[in-house]
Chain A
Amino acid sequence: MVRRRFSFGLVSRLSSPIYGRSPCSGGIWTPCLGQKRSFMTAKDLVESEEPEKKVTNRINMFSAINQALHTVLDSDPKSYVFGEDVGFGGVFRCTTALRDKFGRHRVFNTPLCEQAIVGFGIGLASMGNRAIAEIQFADYIFPALDQIVNEAAKYRYRSGNLFNCGGLTVRAPYGAVGHGGHYHSQSPEAFFCHVPGIKVVIPRSPSQAKGLLLASIRDPNPVVFFEPKWLYRLAVEEVPVDDYTLPLSSAEVMRKGSDITLVGWGAQLAIMEEACDEVSKLGISCELIDLRTLIPWDKELVEDSVNKTGRLLVSHEAPVTGGFGAEIAASITNSCFLRLQAPVSRVCGLDTPFPLVFEPFYMPTKNKELQTLGL
């Protein structure tokens, strides 16, 4: 059963008229050991439009991403998808059937060299192509960090807008998956958030993934798109079949509340939602915000929310020290200092390398959230 709710964006964005309407944004499921839970969907914001019945399909996240890639390759003949093993569909099946439909010259495997994959993508993008590079796991993105930080981020700036690599989108599965260990579970988003010139986008669900990926690919700036790998198969929801984009640098209020603001992204939101459910039984009303784009992030929306509630909790899987939560905490403390009734809390991964057997103790679990919420 699906409960419908009006989009909370309407209320919280009264002070930010520029956000206007947002297309159908998805709800969230809970990756509870493979169970698919019913979830809440947010209806379209503006009711003055004719209520359009969108055709949707119930699919998982890798299928939604696959659809987005099909759409892009269909619409732009100068777009390319490449990376390790993308030809047969990729190790997470995100690129299934692309090669059969669009040919080996547009969807192709690269040799095992991340630095060259991204560097080559920058070259393609600077010639006006849409280069969609796949890094097989976000843990492997570090050889490419040099190219992203030193080349992609600075291309437009240092050439005085003569050239740019806005057509570059780097996609990588990130985050814990339950059994990944050190090198298949990392969340490296913080490294990229420190680089002016690129955008970092993280979806939380299939419908968000499709819309945000289409927006990222079409954005005239290089984008690093992290996909929560835990949700590739576990997250299933109704995703519109047509071509739609969701706005970048626009956070979304998933759940309206008045006592505390919670900010997160990706798979962590499912955990946070569970925590919100538990504390709501005790009468604590939480406002849950999905940041969606990490840089440039939607400061205004978060500030509005904290000005309303007076408390902020940020949660992410990456280690707490130097994680992106630190930036949010510092920024909000600066802008909402007099309104804050408690210090900004962060419930994040521990400051250790991502462990193998100790993963349940490392992760920012629901109980840790509850503990920080004060129970």
Chain B
Amino acid sequence: MVLGRSFEDMCAQMYYRGKMFGFVHLYNGQEAVSTGFIKLLKQTDFVTSTYRDHVHALSKGVPARQVMAELFGKSTGCCRGQGGSMHMFSAEHGLLGGFAFIGEGIPVAVGAAFTSKYKREVLKEEGDMPVSIAFFGDGTANNGQFFECLNMAQLWKLPVIFVVENNLWAIGMSHYRSTSDPEIWKKGPAFGMASAHVDGMDVLKVREVAKEAVERARRGDGPTLIECETYRFRGHSLADPDELRAPAEKAHYAARDPIVALKKYLLDNEIATEAELKSIEKKIDEVVEDAVEFADASPLPGRSQLLENVFADPKGFGIGPDGRYRCEDPGFTAGTAQV
């Protein structure tokens, strides 16, 4: 959680210094959900996320260096600089993507869950059934794709967990003003699905509920819908002035900061000392600093990467009539549009 928070704060700094650009959405305040769920998963399990995916990537095990390099658009990033902030992918760690478009990740997680089930039950592969988790927000819970996937997942009893990070706001639209029944977890039983609502600011409670859901999925007993009540401390994105939310609401949730709460719990129950926690924070700071240095020092991707991976053939269609990469033709990339 501390890694997530420090990382996001560093992102904001880098953005305002001009090191990264584009649409960046930070996860401050919601760390308990990411940690609570993803830390229970194995490397073979799958996660799909939204555009607010930096911390999901970090929790799933993608090195901070790679995530930071991806944000800077460098070739050492997890997607070689192609995706940027909103599209973190990692085949090694089972991160099936951040998605800029809301709701698009949910069917992908359902497909991954189907594969897990098929491999285990039909192809009789050994090992634990890999579980898929789809993270999405409260706004997405009003989208057609969400309902279609709830139905499919329950119908075929797929090992997928739908996690709604209900932070009450979809950019500027309040959840209560856009949803006929604001209690999202109630939508699960309509499909015959097990559902739960949990306080998303308390990592231990989230972990408890997550454990049950993951076990249900691994047993083959089907999907779960979990609504986590959480809050984002910053605006929707770094370009959002965040003027619409009432200060009282923000203060209420700031008081329930998951990191502060866990720290208090650890100290009160003497599970860790102040010094140990401080040393963890110091280590994390070093990791984040190192990530920034690495990203800074990394090279930008070569121009030929623009034409790669459009199709399966690595050279795509980017081969000109003379049989060479079209982008090697000096006239081709003679553009001087400034960004």
Residues of A within 8 A of B (CB): 33, 84-85, 87-88, 91, 109-113, 115-116, 139-140, 143, 178-184, 350-353, 355-363, 365-368, 371
Contact = CB atoms under 8 A, between A and B. Distances in A.
Nearest to B175: A111
B338 A143 contact: no
A362 B339 CA distance: 12
Nearest to B335: A365
A368 B335 CA distance: 6
A218 B280 CA distance: 63
Contact of B179 (A111, A115, A356, A366): A111
Q: Closest 9 interchain pairs by CB?
A: A111-B142, A183-B100, A365-B335, A357-B73, A358-B306, A112-B139, A179-B22, A365-B337, A360-B337
A255 to B, nearest CB: 21
A181 B142 contact: no
Interface of B: 21-23, 73, 81-84, 86-87, 100-103, 139-140, 142-144, 170-173, 177-179, 244, 300-301, 303, 305-307, 310, 316-317, 327, 331, 333-339
Contact of B335 (A115, A116, A178, A367): A367
A357 B338 contact: no
Contacts of B101: 139-140, 183
B303 A116 contact: no
Contacts of B82: 355-357
Contacts of B339: 178-179, 359-360
A360 B336 contact: yes
Nearest to A355: B306
A360 B179 CA distance: 41
A163 B307 CA distance: 47
A356 B306 contact: no
B186 to A, nearest CB: 16
B196 to A, nearest CB: 23
A91 B103 CA distance: 20
A361 B338 CA distance: 10
Given A87-B173, A357-B301, A358-B301, 12 more contacts: A84-B171, A109-B177, A110-B178, A112-B102, A112-B139, A140-B101, A184-B23, A352-B307, A353-B310, A368-B334, A368-B335, A371-B334
B171 A85 contact: yes
Contact of A116 (B21, B22, B73, B144): B144
20 contacts: A85-B171, A87-B172, A111-B179, A112-B102, A113-B142, A113-B143, A139-B100, A143-B144, A181-B23, A181-B100, A183-B100, A351-B310, A355-B82, A357-B73, A357-B300, A359-B337, A360-B336, A361-B335, A366-B336, A371-B331
B100 A363 contact: no
A358 B100 contact: no
B325 to A, nearest CB: 13
B317 A351 contact: yes
B81 A357 contact: yes
Contacts of A110: 178
Contact of A88 (B23, B86, B179, B244): B244
A356 B81 contact: yes
Nearest to B336: A367
Contacts of A352: 306-307, 310, 316
A357 B302 CA distance: 10
Nearest to B137: A112
A212 B334 CA distance: 35
B306 A350 contact: yes
A361 B73 CA distance: 15
Nearest to B100: A183
Contact of B305 (A33, A116, A178, A358): A358
Nearest to A139: B101
A2 B54 CA distance: 49
Interface hub of A84, A85, A111 (most chain B Cβ within 10 A): A111
A363 B140 contact: no
B178 A111 contact: yes
A228 to B, nearest CB: 15
Contacts of A359: 337, 339
Nearest to A363: B337
A367 B23 contact: no
B81 A361 contact: no
A183 B82 CA distance: 13
B300 to A, nearest CB: 7
A184 B101 CA distance: 10
Contacts of A182: 83, 87, 100
Contact of B172 (A88, A113, A139, A184): A88
B142 A112 contact: yes
A87 B84 CA distance: 30
A248 B100 CA distance: 34
A33 B339 CA distance: 8
A320 to B, nearest CB: 12
Interface hub of A178, A182, A361, A366 (most chain B Cβ within 10 A): A361
A328 to B, nearest CB: 23
Given A85-B172, A179-B22, A115 B336 contact: no
Contacts of B22: 179-181, 356
A277 to B, nearest CB: 15
Contacts of A360: 335-339
Contacts of B102: 112
A115 B73 contact: no
B143 A184 contact: no
Contacts of B100: 139, 181-184
Contacts of B307: 350, 352
B336 A109 contact: no
Contacts of A366: 336-337
Contacts of A111: 139, 142-143, 173, 178-179
A140 B87 CA distance: 16
A306 to B, nearest CB: 26
Contact of B336 (A85, A139, A365): A365
